Amino acid sequence: MSGIEIKSSVELPSKREALSLVTQDNLKLVGELALPQSNSPKATLIMLHPLPTAGGFMDSHIYRKAANRLPALADLAVLRFNTRGTESPHGKSEGSFADGVAERLDVMAAVDYAQQRKLPNLYLVGWSFGTELALKYGPELDVLGAILLSPPLHRTNEKELLRWNDTTKKLVALIPEHDDYLKPLEAAQRFSVINHIDLIAVEAAKHLWVGENATKRVLDEIVKVVNPAKSPLPDFY
């Protein structure tokens, strides 16, 4: 088969823009928007990264690979940014880590930016700590839903989970079989208060989604939600 094999650090064609998000408390956050090179995006992923105090940032590998692949493979816009006080190879955002509280303003700034750019069909994609932000603040934001990768449920309480029952927003959670914090059986119990969540147990996977097989599974599950016509993703471009 001819073409580029899609694996590891391959970067497919896209339009990349460095950006600065400004929060309501006047902090500047470092970010990047990746767009399809020629087509209009069908949907927009707003990526909420893992815990910055444990090494999470906008360039964490699943999010970097999403930006490298999904504009070309699935006609998606991928908006990544560093939450307050977070530093990555793209730079450091102003402010300091606020344990998921003041980060509400960071998520709002990203959604506002996407709306100002008239990007279509907004979805939050949270990974680990980022899932806490998606769960806490998603119900109040103008997004179509949220996709959760390895939710630990450390900072989200039952009252916040119940708020999703007052919405029609899509909610999907990928739960690794060997997660360090929340395995599939416990996830089913903890999320049972939400009446419309789609829980997907992923065999052999771990919290950090290490390895190309894990990466492909995560990216394909995301595409299946936001632009199903492009799923499954190909192995070659």
Cis geometry, peptide bond prior to residue 232 (ω within 30 degrees of 0): yes
CB-facing half-sphere around the CA of 194: CA atoms within 13 A:
25
CA–CA separation, 59 vs 63, rounded Å? 6
Q: Is the pLDDT of residue 1 over 50?
A: no
Q: What pLDDT is stored for residue 9 in this prediction? A: 86
CA–CA separation, 198 vs 201, rounded Å? 10
Q: Is 52 left (phi over 0), alpha (psi -120 to 50) or beta?
A: alpha
Look over the chain and give the mean of its residue pLDDT values, rounded to a whole number: 97
* Size of the chain in residues: 237
Q: Is the pLDDT of residue 168 over 50?
A: yes
CA–CA separation, 169 vs 15, rounded Å? 29
Q: What fold characterizes domain 15-230?
A: Rossmann fold (3.40.50)
- Model confidence pLDDT, tens digit, residues 71-105: 999 999 999 999 999 999 999 999 999 999 999 99
- Prediction pTM value: 0.98
The closest of 15, 97, 101 to 53, measured between CA atoms, is 97
- Surface-to-core class of residue 131, CB atoms within 10 Å of its CB (0-12 exposed, 13-18 middle, 19+ buried): buried
Q: What is the mean pLDDT of residues 45-70?
A: 98
CA–CA separation, 164 vs 137, rounded Å? 10
Q: What values do phi and psi take at 140, rounded to 5?
A: -95, -5
**Per-residue confidence band for 2, with pLDDT thresholds at 50, 70 and 90:** low
Q: In the chain, pLDDT over 70 holds for what percent of residues?
A: 99
Q: In the chain, pLDDT over 90 holds for what percent of residues?
A: 97
